[in-house]
Amino acid sequence: DAGVTQSPTHLIKTRGQQVTLRCSPKSGHDTVSWYQQALGQGPQFIFQYYEEEERQRGNFPDRFSGHQFPNYSSELNVNALLLGDSALYLCASSSGTLETQYFGPGTRLLVL
């Protein structure tokens, strides 16, 4: 079992650009959550997807959007990038309980 995988591992963009990050959940998991982790901070919840629907959302602007596919994989899209969007973006998958939630290694995004 490969666990939760994310791509790409690193990404450099410039202000105003758009970015798409991808996540494949652990086998058997149907729920995907996305978090943003700034340097020296804990992860902050962006949103959660289940059955291809956004089930819950944190305090992030509409520039952050997502999608979940029938195979449970997910994408995070960020439009009109700002310098402050530079962070580690973590994907976590679960089978519906907090105890089963596993995190991927993250995608490190740098906005110049």
59-74 in b/e form (b: 16+ CB < 10 A) is eeeeebbbebeeebbb
- Are 15 and 109 a contacting pair, CB within 8 Å? no
5 binds another protein (CB under 8 A): no
Q: How far apart are CA 96 and CA 63, in angstroms?
A: 27
CB of 2 to another protein, least distance (A): 13
99 binds another protein (CB under 8 A): yes
32 binds another protein (CB under 8 A): no
Binding site for another protein (CB under 8 A): 4, 31, 33, 35, 40-45, 48, 56, 58, 90, 92, 94, 96-99, 101-106
